[in-house]
Amino acid sequence: MLFTLKKLISAFLMPVPIGLLLLIIAFIFFMRNSNSKGKLFLFIGLAWFIAFSSQPIANALIKPLENSHKALLEVPKVKYILVLGSSHNTNENLSITSQLRPVAVNRLSEGKRIYNLLEDSKIIVSGYSGFDKNKHALMAKRFLEETGVKEDSIISMTKPVDTKMEAIEAKKIIGNEKFILVTSASHMKRSMLIFKKQGLNPIAAPTYHLGFTSFSYKELFSSFNLYKSTLAFHEYLGLAWGKIRGFI
Q: How many other C-beta atoms lie within 10 A of the C-beta of residue 188?
A: 26
Say what percent of the chain tops pLDDT 90.
Answer: 92
- Which residues, in sequence order, are CB contacts of 23 under 8 Å at separation 6+? 41, 42, 45, 46
- In CATH, what number does 80-207 get? 3.40.50.620
pLDDT interval class at 10 (50, 70, 90): confident
Average pLDDT, the chain: 96
Residue 144, pLDDT above cutoff 80: yes
Mean pLDDT of 128-149: 96
Mean pLDDT of 112-121: 96
Residue 132, pLDDT above cutoff 70: yes
Domain ranges of the chain: 10-52, 80-207
Mean pLDDT of 144-148: 97
The reported pLDDT for the residue numbered 2 is: 63
Is the entire prediction scored with pTM above 0.85?
yes
Mean pLDDT of 208-234: 95
Say what percent of the chain tops pLDDT 70.
Answer: 99
- Which 8-state DSSP code applies to residue 158? -
pLDDT interval class at 218 (50, 70, 90): confident
How far apart are the C-alpha atoms of 15 and 157, rounded to whole Å? 32
The reported pLDDT for the residue numbered 217 is: 87
The reported pLDDT for the residue numbered 127 is: 96
The reported pLDDT for the residue numbered 84 is: 98
Residue 133, pLDDT above cutoff 70: yes
Q: Is 192 exposed, middle or buried (0-12, 13-18, 19+ CB in 10 A)?
A: buried
- Strand ranges (DSSP E) for 38-165? 80-83, 122-126, 154-157
Residue 96, pLDDT above cutoff 80: yes
> Coil, strand, or helix at residue 80?
strand
Residue 92, pLDDT above cutoff 70: yes
